[in-house]
Amino acid sequence: MAVKRGVTIKGTRDGLSLYMDDTYSYKELLSELEEVLSAQHILEEDPLIRVTIELGNRYLTSKQQDEIRQIFEKHNKLVIDKIQSNLIEKKTALEWKEQTDIKMYHRMVRSGQVLHVEGDLFLIGDVNPGGKVMASGNVFVLGSLKGIAHAGCSGNKQAVIAASYMAPSQLRIADIISRPPDSDEEGMYMECGFLDESYEKIRMERVTALSKVRPELNGFERRVMNG
């Protein structure tokens, strides 16, 4: 009968994967980790071996992670590459939620006004000439976009800009800027802008093509796009 262990090691293409069973106490795992590492037969001439530690549904404090690193320091051929857990800190979770939430506004952005949000922006209303909307994620305008729209303002090059009526004075995605043509062309209805694969310019398409261009958009965003 096989003996159940709290710490198991498996070889991978990139080194070793060490799994620490989250049903064991932390002290039990530390003790067993010492035993498991001491049993590894590593020669002096062997290269450094990178180790990924899998914690499962366990969260370790910075102090606990340091204690584990100290155990590994006794075995100088084993180097911790990363420590992974299914759990994250509440602060990190709230930051992630802030970055991925869709912020909905029902208003007009007038000349001189700036509407700036973290995450995706869904604006029900117009952006007048001289007005500006900015989002770290996507920008959706259910109205006329005649001012400036900046999506992915934190560097997200996968962000998109879409509007019911697209006649902007400037579009910007991440650090790429697109200005309107010098002609007196009228705007377009139900259009979207996104960076092409080379990330050299912003391309315009009908909103209905967006699900093919950015299939990673979630269901709610697709419903917004397809009206």
Residues 137-154 have pLDDT tens digits of 999 999 999 999 999 999
Give the other-Cβ count within 10 Å of 225's Cβ: 20
The whole-number pLDDT of residue 9 equals 86
pLDDT for the residue 14:
81
Sheet holding 49-54, edge to edge: 7-12, 15-20, 49-54, 78-84
The parts of the chain modelled with pLDDT lower than 50 are: 1-2, 183, 223, 227
Q: What confidence score (pLDDT) does residue 188 get?
A: 86
pLDDT in tens, 64-109: 999 999 988 887 778 898 898 887 766 766 666 666 678 999 999 9
Residue 225, C-beta contacts closer than 8 angstroms, at least 6 positions apart: 140, 162, 192, 207, 208, 210, 211, 217
Displacement of CA 24 from its chain's centroid (Å): 32
Cβ pair 221, 213 in contact under 8 A: no
Tokens of 204: 């315009």
- Give the per-residue pLDDT at 92: 67
- Gap between the Cα atoms of 123 and 126, Å rounded: 8
Question: Which pTM value belongs to this model?
Answer: 0.58
Output the pLDDT for position 1.
42
Residue 218: the pLDDT is: 55
